[in-house]
Structure 1
């Protein structure tokens, strides 16, 4: 499959996750404080909670429900209670379009 338009770059507020669904996969898109755009699986592996409702700090996204923080770069949980990683997707910026391939994950 190929990359799909997830949103406009101008829609992304810094450190504020945006939930998108591509090919039935919920994805949290984040523009971090360094203006880097990340895309990770939007479902916390601990409690089936949307990570896009969580909090961004640096290169981490914290689940609001139980406090597990996930690396935006690797998808790995950085603390308990989550111990399984979330998928990380490649992001391409084309003008004002944020493109993500929901079928291809980045190897951590």
Structure 2
């Protein structure tokens, strides 16, 4: 709650979207999930990809948008690919393909001569 009379002038955003276990069609909070969320609330400090204490002045700059995703960055879980290594592997495959094509052409030529 944004109050002018509040001594601390910041708001804690907690992204607890991954703090659950899936039970049938429902999500349930375990005791461990609840403790993780409560500890973040009590400590009121930044925890990467989970919680962020945002000064109310920053919230004002964001036109008072209170969406958690505006302030707590999601963890990037995408697979990191080494493009240089991938291109080197593709180059090897293409070279091997060429060698195989040449060998196939030789075999076909031998078969055609033998007819």
Q: Which has the larger radius of gyration?
A: 2
> Larger % of strand: which?
1
TM > 0.5: no
Measured against the shorter chain, the TM-score band is under 0.3
> Which TM-score applies when normalising by structure 1?
0.28
> Larger % of helix: which?
2
